[in-house]
Amino acid sequence: MSDLPVSKTRRKQEMHALQALGEALVELTNAQLSGLHLPEALADAIVEARRISSFEARRRQMQYIGRLMREADAGAIAEHIARIRQERQRDASRQHELERWRERLLAGDAALTELAQTTPALDVQRLRTLVRNARNEQARGLPPKASRELFRTLRAILHSAPET
């Protein structure tokens, strides 16, 4: 079976996949790219693609990056990008969890009791003061200074607690 030539359609699909992977590389930050050991020509093409603003020139550059991707380890690059996306999703999930806790704390005192039970090292008095101040800010229409402080405190509390 391996003696059969690869169809033109299959080759085009593979090239489009490599180009899409190259586009994902262009969207990464320099710090995220530093973990990959890309060929020098590919790294230079990525830097160049970031500078291009013309649609057609960028499209041609992305095709060039796709062509250079043939010589790179596409599997390792895809794994690296997948890890970065998972980290982003995990961070977004944590942010949403913190937002939900803050909203619950501002809505009623039952959430504070629940949080105190799940987090034994919690400074309940300080948190209660922050919640009270944040509620006062909301009621008076003031800028959310205490609400932000409550969020930062929750982040410190929940990120220091062991994950379940």
Model pLDDT for residues 13-53, shown as the tens digit of each residue: 999 999 999 999 999 999 889 888 899 999 999 999 999 99
Specify the pLDDT at position 164. Answer: 46
Tell me how far apart the alpha carbons of residues 91 and 104 are, in angstroms, rounded to a whole number: 20
What is the residue-averaged pLDDT of the chain?
A: 90
Domain that holds residue 119: 90-160
pTM, two decimals, is: 0.70
Specify the pLDDT at position 92. Answer: 94
- Among 97, 90, 46, 35, which residue's Cα sits nearest to residue 68? 46
Which residue's structure tokens are 């509620």? Answer: 135
Tell me which H or E stretch contains 144. Answer: none
Domain shared by 15 and 68, yes or no? yes
Specify the pLDDT at position 48. Answer: 95
Query: Could you say which residues of the chain have pLDDT below 70?
Result: 1-2, 161-164
85 falls within a domain: no
124 falls within a domain: yes
Domain shared by 130 and 95, yes or no? yes
84 falls within a domain: no
- Considering its fold, how many domains does the chain have in total? 2
